[in-house]
Structure 1
Amino acid sequence: MNILDTIKAQKVKEVELLKAQFSYSFLEEQPLFNSATHSMKKAIESSVTGGIIAEFKRKSPAKGNINLEANVVEVTQGYANAAVSGLSVLTDSEFFGAQKTDFRLARKSNSIPMLRKDFMVDEYQIIQSKAMGADVILLIAKILSKKQLQSFTHLAHELGMEVFLETQNEVEILENLDLPFDLIGINNRNLNSFEVSVENSIKLAQLLPKSSIKIAESGIQSLKTLQLLKANGFNGFLIGEYFMKERNPAEKCKKLIQQLL
């Protein structure tokens, strides 16, 4: 099993436990379930600061511990003050070190669009995401069937959330062009080998319609890389480790945006 298969298997177990603890009706009764959502797609389309989705994560399977003690309120508010287009907050504790309160505290402290970054394997998690106050959910093409991608997208849209579809190769893009996703991410990192290839992402971006909101993910470690991706048709950039490995992630984010302007 590769790391993605391992994560998926663990996630299936986690969801079954959650279902036993919290019913669908419990989720639907949460205060944020009926709250209005914020469009990340529109925020990126209208961005004058580079279309950055700044990520809060404590660790990852690829990089190990990154910033375990980071203060989620401090960092996400700092990102928002730097005028990012949106926030991405990890909610997986097993592999990404998320604390149970991370998303809730970030949501409470910020009114800009927020992506719930996790491994969606069950419709329960879509309902849960709305109850948490998420504006956008992540769907990873590599771990979901076409039928799941279609039904999860439909449910998310029904609940007023947007869908960020993550792809990593030509097949995943071509097979899902008919899916009504709102944002499409191309992961620079191969999730099987963890190798990073910006050139691969640039090549894959050419397969997408010009109207697609294209987001580059993973391995963006310099202004030069970001500018190269932007010049090749990417509208937005999901950046986590580049910021989070610093003592002050928000300051690093602010500096990058200033360099872009």
Structure 2
Amino acid sequence: MNILDKIIEQKKQEIADSKTIVSLQQLKDSEFFGRKTYSLKESLTSKSGIIAEFKRQSPSKGIINDKVSPLEVVSQYEKFGASAVSILTDSQFFGGNFKDILNVRNHINIPVLRKDFMIDEYQFYEAKSIGADIILLIAACLSPTQVQEFTELAHALNLEVLLEIHSEEELKHINKSIDFVGINNRNLKDFKVDLQHSVNLKNQLPENIFSVAESGIYNEEDFKYLKEKGFNGFLMGEYFMKNENPGKKFSEFISNVTI
């Protein structure tokens, strides 16, 4: 069993437990459920194109940075031009939780991506209830039919959809309703990074679809290379979070890539 399989098994149990604690109606009655969402499509074209991530840890890297608060970091991300922020809500493997989004939602005015392993309709109502604007669908743990159904549900809740793929085989998960296709430079099964593989995949995407380069962007050269290859957005977290002051690192990065 690889790490993705382990995460999905754990996620199934977490969802089952959550359903016994918080009903669907309680989610619908929450403070943020009726709020007007922000559009990543709009902010990708009007700002830096970077979806800056808050991430405490990961299965491959262990603890990255557990000393800073989400609000402290994402406020700086927004201040220095992030198009959106991504916040991990998986606790077991990534050290995140719902409060990380709840605690920042009223303090920033850019889209928030709920970064998690979405495998059940219940999670989409959760995402809406905590103030997310975008959800992530990972092709590696979903069928094309599930992607289509989950995309329709997300749109019914006014949430945008970022579909993450890793291989040519997963290109079949793309449907006309998907808002963005993210190509993960890091293989989820062995965690190897290959930027050229991502570029090759991007060249096979349908025309006029927003493309997002995800993970494994470790320096300004990587960013510039992927931008030159036509990516519209860039999901980056570890590069900033491994710094003692992620917001400052982000501001320096923005300065250097926008000269």
CA shift for structure 1 position 42: 1.4
Range that drifts further, 82-91 or 106-115:
106-115
In structure 1, C-alpha distance between the alignment counterparts of 2:168 and 2:146, rounded to whole Å? 19
SS in 1 for 2:191: coil
Structure 1 unaligned segments of length 5 or more: list them.
Answer: none
1:167·1:186 contact (CA, 8 Å) conserved in 2?
yes
TM-score, normalised via structure 2 length: 0.97
Q: Deviations for 1:158-202, whole angstroms, at most 9, x for unmatched residues?
A: 0101001000001111x1232411111000001111100001001
In structure 2, C-alpha distance between the alignment counterparts of 1:20 and 1:237, rounded to whole Å? 37
TM-score, normalised via structure 1 length: 0.97
1:141·1:167 contact (CA, 8 Å) conserved in 2?
yes
Q: Which residue in the other structure is 1:54 paired with?
A: 52
2:55·2:237 contact (CA, 8 Å) conserved in 1?
yes
Q: Which residue in the other structure is 2:20 paired with?
A: 20
Q: Which residue in the other structure is 1:191 paired with?
A: 188
The alignment-based identity, stated in percent, is: 46
SS in 1 for 2:128: helix
Range that drifts further, 6-15 or 145-154:
145-154
Q: Which residue in the other structure is 2:100 paired with?
A: 102
1:166·1:184 contact (CA, 8 Å) conserved in 2?
yes
Q: Which residue in the other structure is 2:86 paired with?
A: 88
Corresponding pairs, count = 258
1:72·1:106 contact (CA, 8 Å) conserved in 2?
yes
In structure 2, C-alpha distance between the alignment counterparts of 1:27 and 1:35, rounded to whole Å? 13
Runs of 4 or more above 4 Å deviation: none
Q: Which residue in the other structure is 1:170 paired with?
A: 168
SS in 1 for 2:235: strand
Q: Deviations for 1:197-249, whole angstroms, at most 9, x for unmatched residues?
A: 00100111000133111100111001001000011110110000000000100
CA shift for structure 1 position 114: 0.5
Query: Aligned Cα RMSD in Å?
Result: 1.0
In structure 2, C-alpha distance between the alignment counterparts of 1:195 and 1:100, rounded to whole Å? 29
Q: Which residue in the other structure is 2:11 paired with?
A: 11
Q: Which residue in the other structure is 1:151 paired with?
A: 149
Q: Which residue in the other structure is 1:40 paired with?
A: 40
Is 1:237 the counterpart of 2:238 in the alignment? no
In structure 1, C-alpha distance between the alignment counterparts of 2:206 and 2:21, rounded to whole Å? 43
2:183·2:212 contact (CA, 8 Å) conserved in 1?
yes
SS in 1 for 2:212: strand
Q: Which amino acid aligns with 1:5?
A: D
CA shift for structure 1 position 118: 0.4
In structure 2, C-alpha distance between the alignment counterparts of 1:204 and 1:37, rounded to whole Å? 30
2:118·2:138 contact (CA, 8 Å) conserved in 1?
yes
1:61·1:96 contact (CA, 8 Å) conserved in 2?
yes
In structure 1, C-alpha distance between the alignment counterparts of 2:30 and 2:63, rounded to whole Å? 32
SS in 1 for 2:92: helix
Q: Which residue in the other structure is 1:254 paired with?
A: 251
Range that drifts further, 231-240 or 176-185:
176-185
Q: Which residue in the other structure is 1:223 paired with?
A: 220
Q: Deviations for 1:31-57, whole angstroms, at most 9, x for unmatched residues?
A: 11010000011111233x3x0000001
2:143·2:173 contact (CA, 8 Å) conserved in 1?
no
Range that drifts further, 100-109 or 231-240:
100-109
Q: Which amino acid aligns with 1:38?
A: Y
Q: Which residue in the other structure is 1:134 paired with?
A: 132
1:115·1:134 contact (CA, 8 Å) conserved in 2?
yes
CA shift for structure 1 position 133: 0.8
SS in 2 for 1:83: coil
Q: Which amino acid aligns with 2:119?
A: V
In structure 1, C-alpha distance between the alignment counterparts of 2:173 and 2:95, rounded to whole Å? 31
